[in-house]
């Protein structure tokens, strides 16, 4: 058995785990990142990529914003369609914007930054177990290459996603979870075609929800609402593009270009929050603590803000000898998280078709969109929530 020590043991090498390691390293705090998958597997995951203003600033301060600044697409608004009606939400009128930059690209930037600074990233760490978080020196056990390893830490950061070990290590008597599972999924296609519009367009249609997003000026990421039990194999590229075209306003559909899919998958939708985010010396961040439906593009943004807050708390512990920020981490983060959950659940409820939905329900959805189009106050609230222009600390 091999034993080693670090100040912060981080489980998970997604953006939240890598960014936390980077922020701590910049403050002179040592960490080790454990990841159960291979480096190539982590980089192969296709995820969202709409970044709030404040998140872009956090990433730049962490020294991982150079390529994002060159290649990211800054958007000053978004379109929402209902049938043939189109509503443009102007972010610039509120001094706000978002940046479209794929999560896979951000993960690559973070990996390279950690490797350039000599960060310790342990891939294919199997059977990670967390011990002793109630005491002053928690311990991580794992296997790699058939050998047993022990990592002693001051703190453990659980950044290992919804299915990871971290949240499951909090006793059931302590942990409380809240969940809503939606009765549909998103069929997503990645294709090398230019975006249909310069900005994202969300479409609420009688046939179901659709979204045209992008990863770059030449690569599009598009979605249609589908049944949870749909089989990807039943969705040929031709069927997908035909269905997407049918849900878009006619003038937008005419501009849609198609190509063979690079990647195609079905994702379920859920809202989920775990409380508290801290148990002893174990702290949760990102998808291990919360999940939002992708409708509001909040998942990655919430994770980055979690990590920024958590890093500040850990840095204060070591630099100033105060645990006030650590003690307040869970309550402060949860206030922000629940606001994002509210926005994401609201937007999901307005844009999607639900089983058993009545004509009254549909008219209520359309009334919500009309309120958004006609009310300056409603648009200001939408922009604040979508862009993170004035988030709670």
Per-residue pLDDT of the chain (393 residues; tens, 9 = 90+): 899 999 999 999 999 999 999 999 999 999 999 999 999 999 987 776 899 999 999 999 999 999 999 999 999 999 999 999 999 999 999 999 999 999 999 999 999 999 999 999 999 999 999 999 999 899 999 999 999 999 999 999 999 999 999 999 999 999 999 999 999 999 999 999 999 999 999 999 999 999 999 999 999 999 999 999 999 999 999 999 999 999 999 999 999 999 999 999 999 999 999 999 999 999 999 999 999 999 999 999 999 999 999 999 999 999 999 999 999 999 999 999 999 999 999 999 999 999 999 999 999 999 999 999 999 999 999 999 999 986 433
* 59 phi and psi angles, rounded to 5 deg: -65, -40
| Distances from the Cα of 50 to the Cα of 86, 189, 215, 264, 362, angstroms | 21, 17, 9, 19, 28
Helix axes 53-61, 299-320, angle to 10 degrees: 40
Residue 270 contacts residue 180 (beta carbons within 8 Å): yes
Query: What does the pLDDT read at residue 391?
Result: 41
Q: According to CATH, what is the number of the domain 183-269+354-387?
A: 3.30.9.10
pTM for the structure as a whole: 0.96
Tell me where in the chain the CATH 3.50.50.60 domain(s) lie. 2-73+100-178+270-347
Amino acid 390: pLDDT = 61
pLDDT for the residue 120: 98
Q: Which of 157, 165, 161 is nearest to 8 (CA)?
A: 157
Secondary structure, 3-state, the chain? CEEEECCEEEECCCHHHHHHHHHHHHCCCCEEEECCCCHHHHHHCCCCCEEEHHHHHHHHHCCCCHHHHHHCEEECEEEEEECCEEEEEECHHHCCCEEECCHHHHHHHHHHHHHHCCCEEECCCEEEEEECCCCCCCEEEEEECCEEEEEECCEEEECCCCCCHHHHCCCCCCCEEEEEEEEEEEEEEEECCCCCCCCCEEEECCCCCEEEEECCCCCEEEEEEECCCCCHHHCCHHHHHHHHHHHCCHHHHCCCCCCCEEEEEEEEEEEEEEECCEECCEEECHHHCEECCHHHCCHHHHHHHHHHHHHHHHHHHHHHCCCHHHHHHHHHHHHHHHHHHHHHHHHHHHHCCCCCCCHHHHHHHHHHHHHHHHCHHHHHHHHHHHHCCCCCC
CA 331/CA 299 separation, integer angstroms: 19
Q: Is 2-73+100-178+270-347 a CATH 3.50.50.60 domain?
A: yes
- Residues noted as catalytic: 75, 202, 294, 298, 386
Q: At what angle do helices 376-387 and 359-374 cross, to 10 degrees?
A: 90
Handedness of CA 241, 242, 248, 251 (dihedral sign): positive
Give the separation between CA 345 and CA 181, rounded to whole angstroms.
11
At 249, give phi and psi (nearest 5°).
Answer: -55, 145
Contact 1, 140 (CB under 8 A): no
Smallest CA-to-CA distance from 296 within 182, 215, 388 is with 388
Residues of the chain with CATH 3.30.9.10: 183-269+354-387
Sequence length of the chain is 393
């Amino acid at each position: 058995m091999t034993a080693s020590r670090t100040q912060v043991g981080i489980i998970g090498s997604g953006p939240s785990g890598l960014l936390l390691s980077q922020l701590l390293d910049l403050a002179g705090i040592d960490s080790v990142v454990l990841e159960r998958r291979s480096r190539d597997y982590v980089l192969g995951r296709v995820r969202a990529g709409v970044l709030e203003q404040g998140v872009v600033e956090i990433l730049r301060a962490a020294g991982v914003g150079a390529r994002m600044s060159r290649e990211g697409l800054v958007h000053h608004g978004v379109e929402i369609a209902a049938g043939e009606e189109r509503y443009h939400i102007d972010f610039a009128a509120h001094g706000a914007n978002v940046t479209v930059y794929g999560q896979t690209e951000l993960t690559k930037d973070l990996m390279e930054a950690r490797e350039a600074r000599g960060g310790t990233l342990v891939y294919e760490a199997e059977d990670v177990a967390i011990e002793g978080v109630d005491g002053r020196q928690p311990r991580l056990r794992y296997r790699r290459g058939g050998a047993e390893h022990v990592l002693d830490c001051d703190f453990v950061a659980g950044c290992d996603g919804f299915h990871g070990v971290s949240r499951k290590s909090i006793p059931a008597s302590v942990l409380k979870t809240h969940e809503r599972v939606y009765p549909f999924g998103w069929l997503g296609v990645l294709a090398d075609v230019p975006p249909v519009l310069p900005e994202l367009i969300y479409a609420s249609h009688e046939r179901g929800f659709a979204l045209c997003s992008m990863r770059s000026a030449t690569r599009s990421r598009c979605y249609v609402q589908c049944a949870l039990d749909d089989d990807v194999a039943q969705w040929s590229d031709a069927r997908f593009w035909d269905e997407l075209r049918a849900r878009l306003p006619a003038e937008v559909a005419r501009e849609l270009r198609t190509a063979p899919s690079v990647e195609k998958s079905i994702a379920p939708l859920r809202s989920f929050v775990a409380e508290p985010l801290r148990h002893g010396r174990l702290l949760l961040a990102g998808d291990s603590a919360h999940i939002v439906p992708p409708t509001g593009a909040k998942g990655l943004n919430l994770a980055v803000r979690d990590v920024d807050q958590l890093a500040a708390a850990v840095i204060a512990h070591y630099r100033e000898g105060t645990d006030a920020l650590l003690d307040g981490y869970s309550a402060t983060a949860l206030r922000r998280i629940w606001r994002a959950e509210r926005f994401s659940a609201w937007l999901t409820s307005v844009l999607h078709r639900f089983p058993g939905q009545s004509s009254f329900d549909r008219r209520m959805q359309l009334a919500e969109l009309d309120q958004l189009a006609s009310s300056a106050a409603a648009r200001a609230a939408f922009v604040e929530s979508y862009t993170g222009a004035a988030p709670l600390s």
